[in-house]
Structure 1
Amino acid sequence: MGNCNVCIKSDVTGSDRKRSDTNRGKKGRKTKPNPYSDESLNSSATIRVLKDSNPRNRIGDKYVLGRELGRGEFGITYLCTDKETKQELACKSISKRKLRTAVDVEDVRREAAIMATLPEHPNIVKLKATYEDDENVHLVMELCEGGELFDRIVARGHYSERAAANVARTIAEVVRMCHANGVVHRDLKPENFLFANKKENSPLKAIDFGLSVFFKPGEKFSEIVGSPYYMAPEVLKRKYGPEVDIWSAGVILYILLCGVPPFWAETEQGVALAILRGVIDFKREPWPQISDSAKSLVRQMLEPDPKIRLTAEQVLEHPWLQNAKKASNVPLGDIVRTRLKQFSLMNRFKKRALRVIAEHLSLEEVEIIKDMFTLMDTDKNGRVTYEELKAGLQKVGSQLAEPEIKLLMDVADVDGNGVLDYGEFVAVTIHLQRMENDEHFRKAFKFFDKDDNGFIEFSELEAALVDDIGETDTNVLNEIMREVDTDKDGRISFEEFVAMMKTGTDWRKASRQYSRERFQSLSINLMKDGSLQLHDGISGQAVVV
């Protein structure tokens, strides 16, 4: 919480650039080399992220970092082994070079503080230790190797209301623990829950607190964060509190019971409208077979008014969860499992593409952004004014109209001083490039198009996704192909790939900063006279919320 006054330098030395290019340029490598070799220790540190870190304590003194487990926007998670006990853990290593703005730095600092603050709980991953060196921040935590929530559900041949109730109770327990300790999670979604191990009775654990924040009773937040399909209506209105976690948990419960999100659209504005209208569909299959008690809980968790929405305690006291052992154990049917698998796989397809974009663009973007900043900062005072931004965008051929530039300036000017510092400028530039530059998608497309024939065939899609799921479901992959392959020639063209990436809003929010910019922009653009007005494509009328 609070403003971070750390100065993030814009300079990237020539040797740093060269080393970055070397690391990115190896063809045919499935994983990048471990960045903790001696050659990566030479770049200069510009920030100290963890307030209580001791530079003398090195992660290599206690732990051995092994294979890569996963990769995110800011860093890589490695298998981590305690040298003395041989206990296997996970180490989330966050590259300080990728922390572009003060907001990014504060996010990491706060994530470590929150994980250290939360009491030990069977459903929350435990932070074991933190380290910081010149290049990275390391968070050593429990290892969760049991897979994602949806994957476990799909793998089971039998899925019922009772199983959904058990998951819902776990998520509500996590929310209760967070809120009792003054933490609002702000990004509850299925991907942020992993099973500890592959045993049938493995505990489900919340693993990611990167967007979480400390709160005091009555405190309200305005920053738009989270994943679109799981956002509460008050988040879009930019005045919210811990109640948003209950809404997100309600969305997860709805998906668990029927396999699709309750609020869905192809565009950001469509998603926002669906959320704000708050119409919940209980007519589609399998809802007619689901108990009234389960529907009652979903309704009360997705209550638009946060003042009367259930608390975590009330969710846990709801009859459906209190009587979970008596809940129907009749299978909900193959339709739910198929939907969940498709939901999960499409998520992975787009996430894999976005990860490729992030890996290829993060470092090279920053190399050209510095030059753009210098070009636009005509008076060389280290800040870009609105007029300089407008003139600079015209120089580089941007087609943005003046109102859009003004809106962009308002959104990006985090500290509200009327000018953009370097960190704020980085956010604007990446935002614009991701809106306007399909070359980003071209690089991701080539990752899947292994034979470089200009199309993604079924076998290439299967090969790209099998690593994550351990097996393939031909029917589900065929469904994804049918959805993306609009001309029905049995393969995915670049144009179809781009169309997929630009729709299904939830999955293209890989960049935390991008998500903030897009939805902050959307919210400001829709806010009129203190109310939120959206154009309803169905009725053609403006909907005032």
Structure 2
Amino acid sequence: MGSCISSPAKSGAHKKYKELKPVTPKSSGEFNVTPRKSSVAFRSVTVIANPTPSNIFDKYRFGKELGRGEFGITHRCFEIETDEAFACKTIAKSKLRTEIDIEDVRREVEIMRHMPKHPNIVSFREAYEDKDAVYLVMELCEGGELFDKIVCKGHYTERAAAKVTKTIVEVCKVCHEHGVIHRDLKPENFLFADASENSQLKAIDFGLSIFFEPGQRFSEIVGSPYYMAPEILRRNYGPEVDVWSAGVILYILLCGVPPFWAENEEGIAQAIIRGNVDFERDPWQKVSEEAKELVKNMLDPNPYSRLTVQEVLENPWIQNTDQVRNVSLGENVRMRIKQFSMMNKFKKKALRVVAENLPNEQIDKIKEMFDMMDKDKNGTLTFEELKDGLRMIGHPIPDPDVQMLMDAADSRRKRHTKLNDQVIQDIIFDVDLDKDGRISFDEFKAMMKTGMDWKMASRPIL
């Protein structure tokens, strides 16, 4: 679902739930906003239990947009009485199209209320609800994403990787001790509280988290492809999946690329099931044996022999982070992390461009756009038709971010074209539910109405 957000427009996005009418700016970049009546008649549904019994706009002044997620838009907001800054995620009820969607939001609020105060978990303040939306007010994190800060440092060391991993696993421990499996540990879900050198790293997103009892197993396929444990793909898992995800993050921190890589989600899933982890490529020869051994044991494909959260925290490499060597892992690691981070942000941007072009209620306009893209008028969109269609609506896939990415990674222009084509292929893979290699009108309509940041809940990959 997404929680406290500090970087601009991250995660897949949708149109705003309603227009926010800007009033007189209080200071540069900040605006007071008031809700404007929506033209859409939402069904009357109560989402959360015990919301704060008042109008959020009477207590908070909304500022600039900070980011967007699958259902929500996050704004900076200010408590009117104190002028203290917070983050507020607005979840439009118009986006909650199924009982599962409603239950996801309800559970997210329950989990955030349930989690204890902790220096590495974003603090939840209060929740509001009106006929149009649910509003989650929480701590504002302004220090940027985990990978972004690594890239800015100029060099990266094994000691730094150990400290970050210790924080992430400590978050796992708190979750598990309070009966919660996070299920979506990834670098984008960790933000720094502020821009200071020693800023706290905080977990910000509990949108896919779930309550569990000891011994309970789950079957829904949820999470982000690179970080999924093999038992999630096999639909039989418990809290051990969080250790796996933390191990994937550690692998990336040490070498700059994910351990399981492929051209699409299906290929990533197959690589995870095969379980072959490369410790030969550069810079693994520079990494200590202690660090490599820890990664191997966190990425044990057998959840029952995989290290537990407590065993990871008791590992000497994690327990004694100040003694881990502080030698740079090399510029290549930093550049790979930068490229990996930029690629993810670009893909998310590309995956949302179609969904951002029309509001949900304009079905006739959706049909018009589909017909415009469907050149041969056979009722489906091919790879080339979708690619040309994106260009026609003003969103050609070549993008300044991609240009910078490819210039940093490789000067050969042919790789630029290959990257652009892969993004189109990924869109088709995600939207093409019957896997015939084409997008039907019904699939296109679902994409337009739901948006492109598809949750993978209960969707078989293999």
TM-score by length of 1: 0.68
Q: Give, in whole Å, the separation in 1 of the partners of 2:308 and 2:117.
A: 21
2-structure distance, mates of 1:200, 1:521: 42
Aligned counterpart, 1:68: 65
Task: Pick the aligned partner of 1:515 from 444, 456, 459.
Answer: 456
Shift of 1:483: 2.9
CA-CA distance at 1:46 after TM superposition:
2.3
Residues 485-524 of structure 1 correspond to what in structure 2 (within 5 A)? 485-486=417-418, 498-499=424-425, 501=427, 511=452, 513=454, 515-516=456-457, 520-523=459-462
* Structure 1 contact 342–479 (Cα < 8 Å) conserved: no
Picking from 416, 439, 442, the partner of 2:389 is 442
Superposed CA deviations along residues 171-207 of structure 1, whole A, max 9, x for unmatched, are 0010000000000000111111111111111111111
What residue number does 1:235 align with?
232
Distance verdict in 2 for CA 1:89–1:315, change over 3 Å: same
Give the superposed CA RMSD: 3.5
Q: Which residue of 2 aligns with 1:420?
A: none
C-alpha change, 1:278 and 1:318, in structure 2 (3 Å) is same
Letter in 1 for 2:251: Y
C-alpha distance in structure 1 between counterparts of 2:412 and 2:166, whole Å: 31
Deviation at 1:303, TM superposition (A): 0.7
Match of 1:39 in 2: 37
Q: After the TM superposition, which residues 18-97 of structure 1 pair with which residues of structure 2 at under 5 Å, given as runs?
A: 36-40=34-38, 43-53=41-51, 56-97=53-94
Structure-2 residue corresponding to 1:210: 207
C-alpha distance in 1, partners of 2:360/2:412? 31
Q: What corresponds to 2:322 in structure 1?
A: 325
- Mapping of residues 214-293 of structure 1, within 5 Å: 214-293=211-290
Residue 204 and residue 323 in structure 1: after superposition, are their counterparts in 2 closer, same or farther (change >3 A)? same
Distance 1:440 1:342, change over 3 A: same
Give the Cα–Cα distance (whole angstroms) in 2 for the partners of residues 269 and 182 of structure 1. Answer: 31
Query: Is the helix fraction higher in 1 or 2?
Result: 1
For residues 228-267 of structure 1, the C-alpha deviation after alignment (integer angstroms, 9 at most, x for no partner) is 1111010011010010000001000000000001011123
AA aligned to 2:339 is Q
* Structure-to-structure mapping, 1:165-180, within 5 angstroms: 165-180=162-177
Q: Which residue of 2 aligns with 1:476?
A: 408
Find the counterpart in structure 1 of residue 400 from structure 2: 461
Higher relative contact order (CA 8 A, sep 6+): 2
Matches of 1:64 and 1:480, distance apart in 2: 49
Given the superposition, is the C-alpha separation of residues 368 and 445 from structure 1 closer, same or farther in structure 2, using an over 3 Å criterion? closer
**Structure with greater Cα Rg:** 1
Q: Describe the superposition over 1:144-187 as per-residue Cα deviations: whole angstroms up to 9, x where unpaired.
A: 11111111001002210000001000100100000000000001
Contact 2:297 2:306 in 1 (8 A): yes
Structure 1 counterpart of 2:152? 155
Aligned-partner SS, 2:91: strand
Q: Distance in 2 between matches of 1:445 and 1:52?
A: 47
How far apart are the structure 2 equivalents of 1:334 and 1:502? 35
8 Å Cα contact 1:222-1:239 kept in structure 2: yes
What amino acid does structure 2 have at the position aligned with 1:112? V
User: Following the alignment from structure 2 to structure 1, what is the Cα–Cα distance between the partners of residues 422 and 453?
Assistant: 25
Q: How many residues align?
A: 413
Counterpart-to-counterpart distance in 1, 2:18 and 2:199 = 41
Corresponding letter in the other structure for 2:37? E
Aligned residue for 2:291?
Answer: 294
Which amino acid in 2 is paired with 1:49? Answer: V
What's the offset of the Cα at 1:326? Answer: 1.2
TM-score (norm 2): 0.80
Aligned twin of 2:196: 199
Post-superposition CA distance 1:489-512 (Å, at most 9, x none): xxx87x57524656899xx99856
* CA displacement at 1:361 relative to structure 2: 5.4
Task: Verify the 8 A CA contact 2:165 2:246 in the aligned structure 1.
Answer: yes
Structure 1 position 317, deviation (Å): 0.6
Shift of the alpha carbon at 1:364? 4.7
Residue matched to 2:25: none
Gaps of at least 5 residues in structure 2 are 1-14, 21-28, 368-376, 432-446
Over the matched positions of the two proteins, sequence identity in percent amounts to 50
Query: Kindly tell me: are residues 336 and 502 of structure 1, through their superposed partners in 2, closer, same or farther at Cα, counting changes over 3 Å?
Result: farther
Q: Do the aligned residues in 2 keep the contact of 1:266 with 1:503 (CA within 8 Å)?
A: no
Partners of 1:351 and 1:510 within 8 A in 2:
no
